[in-house]
Amino acid sequence: MSVYEKKKILVTVKTYPLPSRKMIEASCTAGITDDGKWVRLFPLPFRYLEYTQRFQKYQWIEASVTKASDPRPESYKIDLDSIKLVGKPLPTFDNWKIRKDFVLPLASHSLCYLQTTQNVTGATLGLFKPRCINELIIEPEESPGWTEEELSVLNQQSMFDTRFVSPLEKIPFKFKYRFFCKDSNCNGHTLSITDWEVGAAYRNFKIRYGKDWETYFRRKFEHDVIYSFDTGFYVGTIRAHKDVWIIIGLFYPH
């Protein structure tokens, strides 16, 4: 029998949802506990939570969690009914100082460092500031729509759930950053980004600007991320391959 414990967590990451057999759809949510440790909450069906439980990034929550069967040490299963919001999201004034006070103590020197020390630390979550970001890569997905299997998963909403949740849209593009670490021996990295904010921005810009969406998208996630913001990358590994890292969120004080 799983033993649950209550944790207080500052949410820092929320990834774009994917179909989930157990929960219709699920996002990976990550954050920092009040005793300064990384934690991953997965799976979490954010859009199916009660409105009073829908947290924002950089907002404290309290919840009962238990260690997940997921072998990654930071991964926990969450009791959805136990989620409680604690106050408002941390403010952004003074160049995100309050947010930095909680987040930066956990920052690593580089992605190269996270990779080379993983056998010792076991870490599968982290944050670092790259030495330079070269470009945002936008590639079309091989399949722009959901597969039949994925659609059947998304259509399994319980007849007893009366909340209306709009159909989950698949983002028909892959977004990646090419960058160099601060590590002196870094040969460069190209990592996918799965941040919900990035996926939502694509959808909003597509509606607002039509065929010109990419111009405005690049203005924010390429030009501003590279030149205007003091950008860091939240990164994590995928469950099936704990040595494969992806960008799960942006930390961009401005």
Does the pLDDT at position 158 exceed 80? no
Q: Could you state, in order of their start, the residue ranges of all structural domains in the chain? A: 7-86, 93-162+169-251
Does the pLDDT at position 16 exceed 90? yes
Paired sense of beta strands 24-33 and 60-67, if any: unpaired
The mean pLDDT of 38-56, rounded to a whole number, is: 94
To the nearest whole number, what is the mean pLDDT of the chain? 94
Q: How many CA atoms lie within 13 A of 204 on its CB side?
A: 9
Does the pLDDT at position 161 exceed 90? no
Confidence of residue 171 (pLDDT cuts 50, 70, 90): very high
The mean pLDDT of 120-128, rounded to a whole number, is: 97
Confidence of residue 208 (pLDDT cuts 50, 70, 90): very high
Of 18-22, 56-60, 163-167, where does mean pLDDT reach its minimum?
A: 163-167
- CATH for 7-86, among 3.40.50, 3.30.70, 2.40.50, 1.25.10? 2.40.50
- Only one residue has tokens 């006070």, namely 101
Does the pLDDT at position 210 exceed 80? yes
Per-residue pLDDT at 157: 67
Per-residue pLDDT at 144: 86
Does the pLDDT at position 160 exceed 70? no
User: Is residue 76 a contact partner of residue 37, using CB atoms and an 8 Å limit?
Assistant: no
DSSP class of residue 20?
A: E
pTM: 0.95
Q: Which uninterrupted H or E stretch holds 67?
A: strand 60-67
Q: How many CA atoms lie within 13 A of 205 on its CB side?
A: 18
Confidence of residue 162 (pLDDT cuts 50, 70, 90): low
